[in-house]
Amino acid sequence: MNDSDLLELVIKAQNGDQEALSHLLQRFYPKVKRISKFRTKQEQEDMEQELMLLLIKTILAYDTQKTPDFTAFIAECGYSR
């Protein structure tokens, strides 16, 4: 998936397309799992939920006119681990 595909999904998600939002969350879920893997089971679940909520907020707040690269934006928000 390239940056323009991600941007298109972000725009759709911001316009209320739940399928687009779900696709974006699935796309970044492996990174969320990687970030939380060194925690206890309960901490993993809590951290994953918090990160998914942060990801949703980030997607919905993303300025599609100002920032040209969503992948770089996500990295700046701490998802580059």
Q: What's the start-to-end Cα distance of the chain, in Å?
A: 19
Q: What is the pTM of this model?
A: 0.75
Does 76 have pLDDT greater than 80? no
pLDDT at 64: 85
Instruction: Assign 75 a pLDDT band (cuts: 50, 70, 90).
Output: confident
For 10-64, how does the pLDDT look when each residue is reduced to its tens digit (9 = 90+)?
Answer: 999 999 999 999 999 999 999 999 988 889 989 999 999 999 999 999 999 988 8
Instruction: Assign 66 a pLDDT band (cuts: 50, 70, 90).
Output: confident
Q: How far apart are CA 1 and CA 28, in angstroms?
A: 12
The parent domain of residue 16 ranges over: 3-77
Instruction: Assign 74 a pLDDT band (cuts: 50, 70, 90).
Output: confident
| Residue-level length of the chain | 81
